[in-house]
Structure 1
Amino acid sequence: MLEAAGLTAVEESVYRLLVATTTASAPELAGQSGLPQHRVEAVLAALTGKGLAGPTDSDPPQYSAVPPDVALLQRRTDELDKARSTVTDLLDLYRSTRRRQDAGQLIEVITGAESLRLHLRQMQDNARHEMLWFCKAQYVAMPSGSNRAEYDALARGVRYRVLYEQAFFDDDNAVDNVIEGVQAGEIARSVPHLPLRLAVADRAIAICPLVPGGPQGSPGEPTAALVRGSSLLEALISLFERYWETAVPLSLGAAGTLPDARAAQSGDPLSETDRRLLSLLVAGIADKAIASQMGLSRRTVQRHIQHMMTLAGATTRMQLAWQAARRGWL
């Protein structure tokens, strides 16, 4: 019986006749089976659709049987592919529904420095697009320079945006480690203070300590939250972007050194020429007129503007004006 191939009794009967002959037309099979020709034609169409028979281009068409093992194997393969696709869709729906209904699916509590290190490593190993970091002074799980997973991720094209608070650079070897990261492709900025520690992978999952804890060996193990897709995760990403906008870029100088983050954030990182040029720019004066008034070339004016845009982390002159007002440069 060929129920496994999805055949009815009539279809199996006609298929057996085809197997016993090299080729046969619908009229010939009707004569052999005793079935009306229109019924045989419908059965042949069904067998063709199921991959068990194939017609020729002759008139009337001649039909031949496809070996049953080949037909059954192909049918099973197609069914397995459909089943896999259906199961994947259902699993995604199940996970999404469970996360909405069960807070435990959205926030997982991690306790201990070793567990925290493991999760941070896994996040970076699985990242495909971007990592966001808040780096505060006094490490909790990863001493400065020990996060080698970053370099593996950078090598495969993952973008790293890292914010360092000023006190971070007081740690031993911190400056050298940041320089190494920037040389590897990390995009680094600095702010006077960060509100918390944070790591976000692909804007899909984040780690945010709940209990501060301290450096390895100090009393009290750190406790962190692993946060998945939710409004809380969106809020953490928005917090990062808010601090990123006002942070000072840390690009390497010609000697391969970082700028003094405290000096850059002291409120007066501009020269007297920069400040005068900026005031004219904000007033709406064109580059050519600024150059003439200050006795500079247009190229020099544009170089000063680009330098200030880099300091402010601005990509347009409008952003530069906004950042200059926020930072008290005007």
Structure 2
Amino acid sequence: MKAAVLKSFGSPLAIETVPAPVLGTGEVIVDVVASGVLAYANEVLSGARNYLLELPIVFGAGCVGRVRATGPDATRLRPGDWVFCDPTVRSRDNALAPDVMLQGLTGGSEGGLKLQKYFHDGSWAERLRLPTENAIPIGAIDAKDAGRWCALGKFLVPFGGFLAAKLQAGEIVLVNGATGSFGSGAVAVALGMGAQCVIATGRNETALADLAQRFGARVRTVKMLGSEADDRARIVQAAPGPIDCVLDILPPAASAVQVRTAVLAVRPYGRVVLMGGVGMQGGAGLELPYPWMMRNCITLHGQWMYPPLAVTLMAGLIRSGQVTLDHFEVTAFDLDHANEAVAHAAAKSGPFSMTVIEP
């Protein structure tokens, strides 16, 4: 089969023929129809992000496709079923603290690298082999909409954060870093879950205005100007009431001060979820006042990715119309142009812009 292979960091993807995956027990093989391209894929491929990858590897994290074959332990999946292939692979031998890796993107940890040695290759190929539990039915869709359904990935990451925070309908949410692809997805998801209001922060004034125009009065935007106290004061002023939940999803280039600006805006007994990349490239750590956190009973939760049930729940929110895929502008490339797709994703990153590869 044809695949896009990363042979060494800093070199272009090699488009070549590789052996087709062989089915094993506890596994599914999927015909890949569309796979999203992360805005920062170029940083992973260059080695700048220092992701743990055993090379050579078929690159690509997650996809939408159709089941080709299932192992003997599958009781519901059938060939032809449309599925979202969740790249979040968990070890099966420790339910309390499983190792986690993102298939086709990073081992995440030394334990995750052991998983990667087996579930080695990603989705930028004609076929993908993955654990049975990671091939999650999404119901019948039109094949021409498969690329748009890759937006599930943009929604699932912040959805995992809101599930961890136990977000309730009617609450006020602050999305810190709302102008990126995952941050803008967080705004859409919070509204779909019933948030009374979303305070969206960012430095890109044009992107903030776009969010306000798309979602109307339930979104209030705050441009971050760089002064911690002043920015926090404007966040609090913009909110129609006490802020119940803060989701930080700032990228690695942001500073810990930007995180603290948002965290300290939450109300007493409020919840904060950290999902961004701050600190991944070095720099000062996040300093929070112990007495303030203790006296105000603040819940601080770190969250990487999302629980397995999240895909089913998010597909339900999309099918019910609470969250829509219609906002996304999709640009598709075939496998032969995977390197061009990576460049395009980096150049056209931002709210509701999505690049996909369609093998």
Structure with higher strand content:
2
Range of TM-score over shorter length: under 0.3
Structure with more contact order per residue of length (Cα contacts < 8 Å, sep ≥ 6):
2
Q: What TM-score results when the alignment is normalised by the length of structure 1?
A: 0.24
Q: Which has the higher helix share?
A: 1
Task: Work out which of the two has the higher radius of gyration on C-alpha atoms and give 1 or 2.
Answer: 1
